[in-house]
Amino acid sequence: MSTASWIQPPCRYLPDRGGGGFSKTSSRRPRQFLSGVVSVSSSPSSSSSCSCGYSDILEFDFAGSSRSWNQQGLRVQAMSATAQRNFSLSKGDNDEKSEPDHLLVLVHGILASPSDWLYVEAEMKRRLGRRFLIYASSSNTFTKTFGGVDGAGKRLAEEVRQVVQKSKSLKKISFLAHSLGGLFARHAVAVLYSAAISQAIDGTVSKSGTLLRGRIAGLEPINFITLATPHLGVRGRKQLPFLLGVPILEKLAAPIAPFFVGRTGSQLFLTDGKADKPPLLLRMASDSHDLKFLSSLGAFRSRIIYANVSYDHMVGWRTSSIRRETELVKPPRRSLDGYKHVVDVEYCPPVSSDGAHFPPEAAKAKEAAQSSPSPQNTLEYHEIVEEEMIRGLQTLGWKKVDVSFHSTFWPYLAHNNIHVKSERLYKAGAGVVAHVADSIKQQESSTFITASL
């Protein structure tokens, strides 16, 4: 296995529609590397010069892993006598070595709970092995999701801190979020990252002696993955698909939403805040004075967004894939090898930009839309804000994965299929979950290969 097969080229990293770097053949070796008995229980409840490339400072553990890699013909030059002695450590030391070092946080969406992750949790444990601690968040269950993205993000951040404090062996952290949970996770990582910057300025160091700057809860950020998340909100044409794109329904939805889903509704429809203040989702596409939303996302080695091409009644394709209307192209209908319903993967490098702003014309348009909510005023305000959000978020590199359930018996279950909310009803998304797991394994395996060269 060559190193090159683990590194995606700067744009379209799939060599063909047959699966490319994510085919069954290419995923066989990392599966052997990470296999093992799962001993972790959860809570009860790119590679280019851009910011998304692999880190130069990589951590890995020889113990228990060199055998499977040597079977593949890889020569690890760094395997010295010291590393060999890891195999003859005392029982107590071996127990310590088997503790997880990578925290994977699962974040559910609106009106949901940790039970939505039962299938994903089991699959991740089976596929990723004992090096991962799989934790399903429980701090924002059911109607707590109505209290606003910012409030939920702060609760999630505190929950992650507590998990990290209880698990002393952790070194790395990743997030996997569904739907609204993706916005909660984006806010939470900004809170944790900004706190680390403050501690670094004060001279605070981690238990390993390294500065905490660029860390998430003191851990190295690896993967940030969202599934059908409304990154641009749900305002605009077909951004909330169950309204069927009917203009009158989309117009009425914005003022009505807060009565049903509270502050979260006004934030998703970009109507929160005063006339001269940018909406929360626009602020989350930049670095504000107190929270570094963009820098915190940029700290992750990999950012991946999975989006339903069609049949998602809750979240439109544009908002979940962070694309403009003109950037939507007709996706292929054939699934990638080994990943049913995953139809396309694209790596989008960072775009040079000065980031998102709230220009004076946006403030004027917002004031006009609030005082006189005519279709023209509302459309003008929304178009300005959406363009600013896209510009801000596209300053980072993203891997965009398109999913299509058009061939399933019930395609309109796409929003819950994408993360297999329950195995009995939504098992159609099993291929998507497998793709997510192999994407995470790819990062772990590339870390080992890069460190051994």
Each residue's pLDDT tens digit, 307-343: 999 999 999 999 999 999 999 988 898 999 999 999 9
User: How confident is the model at residue 414, as a pLDDT?
Assistant: 97
Across 66-70, average pLDDT: 35
Share of the chain above pLDDT 70, in %: 72
Cα 70 to chain centroid, rounded: 32
Segment 199-213 mean pLDDT: 52
Give residues with Cβ within 8 angstroms of 409, minimum separation 6.
none
Lowest pLDDT segment from 40-54, 113-127, 183-197, 428-442:
40-54
Look at residue 214 and tell me if it is in a domain.
yes
Comparing 173-187, 236-250, 378-392, the range with the smallest average pLDDT is 236-250
- In the chain, the amino acid numbered 191 is V
The more confident residue out of 81 and 380 is 380
pLDDT of residue 393: 96
Task: Render 109-151 in DSSP notation, one character per residue.
Answer: -TT--GGGGHHHHHHHHHHH-TTEEEEE--TT-GGGGGS-HHH
What are the tokens at 198? 């403050």
What is the spatial distance between Cα 19 and Cα 30, in angstroms, rounded to a whole number? Answer: 16
Mean pLDDT calculated for residue range 96-115 = 92
Percent of the chain surpassing pLDDT 90: 56
| 3-class secondary-structure state, position 206 | coil
Tokens of 60: 């890995």
Which range in 137-151, 200-214, 343-357 is most confidently predicted, on average pLDDT? Answer: 137-151
Residues 238, 241, 243, 246: is their CA dihedral positive or negative?
positive
The answer to whether residue 66 is domain-embedded is no
**Quick check: 19 pLDDT over 70?**
no
Per residue in 221-259, is it b (16+ CB within 10 Å) or e — as a string?
bbbbbbbbbbbbbbbbebbbbebeeeeeebeebbeebbe
The span from the CA of 379 to the CA of 244, in Å, is 18
Instruction: Give pLDDT, residue 212.
Output: 55
Q: What integer pLDDT is reported at residue 59 of this predicted model? A: 34
Q: Judge whether 195 and 150 are in contact, CB under 8 Å.
A: no
Q: Distances from the Cα of 58 to the Cαs of 6, 292, 374, 414, 448, in angstroms? A: 15, 24, 54, 37, 8
80 within some domain: no
Structural domain contains residue 330: yes
Read off the pLDDT band of 56 (50, 70, 90): very low
Report residue 74's pLDDT band, with 50, 70 and 90 as the boundaries: very low
Report whether 63 contacts 42 (CB < 8 A): no
Kindly report which listed range (24-38, 217-231, 369-383) carries the lowest average pLDDT score. Answer: 24-38
Question: Is 14 inside a domain boundary?
Answer: yes
Q: What is the mean pLDDT of residues 186-215?
A: 71
Q: Which has more pLDDT, 249 or 204?
A: 249
How far apart, in whole angstroms, are the C-alpha atoms of residue 100 and residue 193? 22
pLDDT at 449: 56
Arithmetic mean of pLDDT, 62-71: 34
Give the highest mean pLDDT range of 59-73, 243-257, 437-451. 243-257
CA terminus-to-terminus distance, the chain: 13
Total number of domains in the chain = 1
Q: Has residue 272 been placed in a domain?
A: yes
**What is the pLDDT at residue 41?**
37
Q: Could you tell me which residues come within 8 angstroms of residue 228 by beta carbon, excluding any fewer than 6 positions away?
A: 178, 179, 306, 307, 308, 312, 314, 315, 320, 414, 415, 418, 419
Residue 342 has phi, psi (to 5 degrees) of -90, 110
Res. 150 pLDDT band, cuts 50 70 90: very high
Please give the angle made by the CA atoms of 277, 187 and 224, to the nearest 5 degrees. 135
Please compute the mean of the pLDDT values over residues 109-133 and round it to a whole number. Answer: 96
CB 285 within 8 A of CB 394: no
Tell me: pLDDT of 60 over 70: no
Range of the domain at 144: 3-61+101-452
Pair 54, 301: CB distance under 8 Å: yes
Query: Is 0.85 surpassed by the pTM of this model?
Result: no
Distance, CA of 301 to CA of 226 (rounded, Å): 15
- 109-140 burial: b if 16+ Cβ within 10 Å, else e: bbebbbebbebbbbbbbebbbbbbbbbbbbbb
Render pLDDT for 333-390 as a digit per residue (tens, 0 to 9). Answer: 899 999 999 999 999 999 987 778 888 878 888 877 777 666 677 778 888 999 999 9
pLDDT at 260 over 70: yes
Per the CB < 8 A criterion, the answer to whether 296 and 224 are in contact is: no
Among residues 212, 141, 120, which one has the least CA distance to residue 173?
212
Please name the residues in contact with 416: beta carbons below 8 A apart, sequence gap of 6 or more.
422, 425, 426, 429
Instruction: Write phi, then psi, for 357 (nearest 5 degrees).
Output: -135, 170
Q: 111 near 142, Cβ under 8 Å?
A: yes
Q: Is residue 83 part of a domain?
A: no
Residue 303: what pLDDT? 98
Domain CATH for 329: 3.40.50.1820
Cβ atoms of 142 and 113 within 8 Å: the answer is yes
Average pLDDT value for residue range 421-425: 94
Is 80 exceeded by the pLDDT of residue 271?
Answer: yes
3-state helix, strand, coil in the chain (%, to 5): 45, 10, 40
140 within domain boundaries? yes
